[in-house]
Structure 1
Amino acid sequence: MTRKYKKRRGKSSFLPALKEETRRFIFSILSFVIAIFFLLAYANQAGIVGESIRNIFNKFFGVGYFLFPAFLVGAGIVFLSIKRTHIAAATFLGGLLFLTSGLALISTFNSEAGGIVGAILSSPFVALFDTFATKVILIALLFVSLLILFDATPTKIISSLSELANWLKNLVSRKQESLDSDEYEEDEDGEEGEYDDEEYDEEDEIEAQDESEGETTHKEDAEKRTAPFAQTLSQTKENILSFVQATSKEYTPPPLSLFETDKGKPDVGDIKANANIIKRTLQHFGINVEMDEVSIGPSITRYALKPAQGVKLSRIIGLQNDLSLALAAHPLRIEAPIPGRSLVGIEIPNNKKTIVGLGSLLKSPEIKKTSAPLAFPIGRSITGNPIVGNLNKMPHLLIAGATGAGKSVSLHTIITSLLHRNAPTNLRIIMVDPKRVELTLYNNIPHLLTPVITDPKKAILALKWAGKEMDRRYDVLEAESVRDIASYHKNVVEPAYAEQAQNKRGTSAAEQEQEQEVNPLPETMPYIVVIIDELADIMNLYPRELESAIVRIAQMARAVGIHLILSTQRPQVNIITGLIKANIPTRIALQVASQTDSRTILDMGGAEKLLGSGDLLYLSSEMSKPVRLQSAYIGESEIKKITKFLAKQNKDGKFDVDVHINSPKKDVLFEANLEENLEDKEGTEEDELYEDAREIVIQSKKASTTYLQRKLRIGYARAASIMDMLEERDVVGPAEGSKQREVLISAGEETDYDDENESI
């Protein structure tokens, strides 16, 4: 009897003493709390315990991680609202069926997405029923699990799902109406509005473009994009620069329908087999590793692994060729470690690449959510995510790679992205193209300060003009006591235009013109981007002049909105000098021939193992190691459509505003100044160099072109020209093959040419 009594007392506990309704409420609260904990753990907001749970669940269940909080929310609803007997058993059975069928279903779409458990659950079904039939069966089981869990008929569940969809739809529509009303109020207050759809449609007559699709895309782009220069600088919603607003409204950016999207899907082969080969190969050399995640990119697949404790990374790196042989993959690259993670990455080329379209990157949330005017997509990462660069933060960019590696295409993607985001009132460009075939496609766009420069001499003068414009802008900023052009537009230009807008009320046009003459409005400063396609061609002719001009702009021009984009296919130390590298920390390296060239660009190897065709390494001042990306591809036909679209908008020269190149007729005068300065430059520099060269030759008794080139630090062409002048004036004798020329006079002697000049 005593035993029976004790047994009954043992069955009595805290929960049975509570009411049924109270117990349901407790279980419901616990279910919701655990579901919230799962979500916080995934967002890395649940401490060490949450991080451990997330890592374990990700490994075993993959994307099915989210099935657990979904089931817990459903269980909480069941405990709270549904009254039936044996509720715990029914909830457990329904939940178990929901989780297993859900994990197996996820794995049928992607073998890695359901984790280890999902792969185990789906394998028997796929082996017996094939993939399609397995999906049908698992969807049916998933639906049955919901019926068991909620104790409802199919009609009731479908009705509930329909009500949920309608509720979400109404919520979205109310949010959209709220946004529309806000935009309408902004238009009424004189703030920036939408682009004119009718004007937009008139411009949408591009060949090889569907008209109806173009109109829709144009309208969507016009509603989302803003072009006024003052707003993009201050990054505020209000825009009170009436002139800039008016000109920007007339400008229509190239629609996204002109840009191609991604083409094809990557073929990565057998992922599990490759992972096993990597593991077995390393084990054969005495290195134990644990395989981790696999990241599939557009052109490569990265297998992450975690070495055992005590294994030196140098041992894994030293087995690069052995891994390449075992996997039959070349070139293979090892990233040890992956930045920010305690893993080693093995990067293997895909059997088939995905062509990354620029249109897909421009449509991505990463580029749309940034309001920076000089932001542009660089490419897709190994995980497939778009990577966005901001020229204003860089603040200059160096691109280098071998011929055919995709250097020019990468440059085109940057240019077209900037054109897509900026009106001519916001961005002005100087393009230098010594090759004459790459950038001349942009000759008719309204953003150019001058037609594309193809003469290396004019390129030097263009850089010198940019330096003078930089000094002039600094004078303006100093006079207004502001730090940069963003602060200048926010604190000087915007208040001036706001005051003008108030004074316009109740005044006649004549009075407004008179007021404008007495108190002129402060100037607006657009960004100026100088793009040089081939640095080596100019550096070989004018090394000192080019280096000094680039270094001066790179050191000082960021605050006044002047930026450089330099490109070369010869990454050599005499082209990319130490001074240039020190002042341009942001660099893009495409495939190069040797590790030496890679070190010249990035100060480390790696670029020699790239695949070409836009495969690149991106290094910025914010990174300790470069990131591997796949650049977007843009074809010549796309560029022609974009330039044709932009040229149509500037037929009447409405965007030819004065940007202070000394005259409103800026393009014509700029070219004239280049020609005039060029003549002066040639005359003065040759005389000065001649006297220096004459003194060097007489003192050293050595006369050769290479000797002058080394002593004066000038190019070969200029040294040869000076040597010809010395020969004409009887300072040195004629050339005698490979021998040095004879010096005909001694120190203190004069030639007949010098005597004639003195008599004159």
Structure 2
Amino acid sequence: MDDQKKEKLTKELQGMALGTVGTFILLAFLTFNSADSSLNSWSSEGGIRNLGGKLGAQVADLFFSGFGLASYLIPLALLYMAYTLFRFKEIRLRSYKLLASFGLIFSLSTLFAFFRDTTILFGQQVATGGVVGKLTCNLLKNTVGPFGAMLLLLPLLAASIMILSKFSFVLFAGWWLENLKNKWAAWQQRRAYNQGEKQKDKARQEGMSAPATSSGPVIKPAAPPAPILNAFKKEKDKKKEAVKTAAVQETFAFIKAEGDFRTPPFSLLDTPPATEKKLDRDALTMNARLLEKKLKDYGIDGEVVEICPGPVITMYEFSPAPGIKISRIAGLSDDLTMALQAMSIRIVAPIPGKGVVGIEVPNRERDMVFLSEIFNCEEFHHNKMKLPLALGKDIAGIPVVTDLAKAPHLLVAGSTGSGKSVSINTMILSL
């Protein structure tokens, strides 16, 4: 038998011994009967009612008479030591731990006797503090008074618990206060959100728009729709406008034109609706606060300093606290996606030229990007591009136009229904 296996077998035997003793003492305590004969009392009634027999009755009476209800800590400590040995861990009985154990039992028995002399436990009358607790309680009351007694006993109890369990009351209080502060902040956010919803409902009923809140991160206004450059004029000016538009681009005589052909007018394209969609500032602010809370749950402190809503995606600019690694934020895209119940989230860590991290969240209600907006914007008409391509809008809602002559290698890929054909048709119409 090797040494490691022998050591495990020894710990297992020690655990069985401590577990047996602890179980016997606990069973004797639970079935204690004051009518049983013991070292301190004698009963004329025959029989022992304690499940531990005569020995169990004497052990229970001895500990209850000495330390009262605090005696229950003894079998519980033995059972915990047995559990530790069964897990093949080392038990080191340091002198300071033994003193802390005695201090715990001593302070508890004195505190029990301080408030009550006896109590009924499992149908039997038991001294709450025993002889030790009663004598110490009377001594402290006569010397330092009730307040002084508490001033001595409570720190002794707290110090004993901290030594035995490595529990910090200061850290626990800090955690509790932080948790309370987070719950208070979440309640305030829900309250503000509900009030905003009520105001918007009331405004809708009255035919007015709800007022926007001024608190929270800076929310950039959505990019206005691209201006229409005289494309939709009177019918008699359509041909002139088409000729002007065609003249802006440099022509390539690949095929000789035949007949009186004119490019189709822009009026054939659908135009965006005249009503401008209003930003839901409350929803954007709530998402920003939710992002901050979820990141804080993963130990990443910071705040959302700016929100950039776009037609399809909203960018939340998150400023992390000093000492936070950017790589930790970049690896939480899946967790944030689940927290916000979004289809997907893209994290730009960091945004070039800025000291913030960009979190791109898809909008629940996407705005339609019309081809006529791109064709009639300044970027498409007033440029020096040979082959301008209307690609759409960026995250901020600004039209994007690129020159095919400077980017001849083009690859279009994507899943079914992602818009490949629409993109190709848009590029063809741009030319």
Relative to the length of structure 1, the TM-score reads: 0.25
Higher Cα radius of gyration: 2
